[in-house]
Amino acid sequence: MFQGVTGTLQSSLGQLAGNNTDIQEGDSKKTAAMENDKKSHTAAKLGPVTATAEGGTHVDSKDRQQGAWDQTIGSGKEFVGGLVGNESLKTQGRTQYDEGVRREASGQANDLVEGMGNRVAGSLGALISTDEQDQERFNRQHDEGKAAIRSVQYDLQRKAEADGGSI
């Protein structure tokens, strides 16, 4: 973000002064900042594991994993119960599905809060630390926090698309 602001200011000042070098360098900084921003939003998710382009990884909380499993099993029970006319199985399936939704949402909230905390703590730690090894550790903490956030965002986006919308 800072690089983009710096680039915009440098380019603007270059235009005011008629300095083509400053304009080109400022535009170059803005382009690099946009590419970095795009890269920072890149993540891949396979099952409960999310990885970001920066190297951060996150494994979904047990509540998220169990909640998703309960939704799958619950909807299966509900379908079979409806298919064979077994109201008890259908009701049991619906209850399990609803509990899975609640459990997954609770796990997402926990992962999101933990991710935001790690991201902030990692950024601040890297900023104030003078030790190179500590800075690397704080950068990893930041990147893992970002992966946790991207994991939740990915799941919410996938759910919104399945429901016919977007977030």
28 CB contacts (<8 Å, ≥6 apart)? 7
Q: Which tens digit of pLDDT belongs to each residue from 108-152?
A: 999 999 999 999 999 999 999 999 999 999 999 999 999 999 999
3-state secondary structure of 92: helix
Q: Which of 151, 148, 152 is nearest to 114 (CA)?
A: 148
The domain ranges of the chain are 1-40, 43-66+103-162
Q: Which tens digit of pLDDT belongs to each residue from 39-87?
A: 666 788 888 999 988 889 999 999 999 999 999 999 999 999 999 999 9
Tell me if 78 sits within 8 A of 97, measured CB to CB: yes
Q: Taking the model in full, what pTM does it have?
A: 0.71
Tell me if 116 sits within 8 A of 152, measured CB to CB: no
Question: Does residue 7 have a pLDDT over 70?
Answer: no
Long-range contacts (CB closer than 8 Å, 24 or more residues apart) made by 87-94: none
Q: Which of 70, 76, 140 is nearest to 106 (CA)?
A: 70
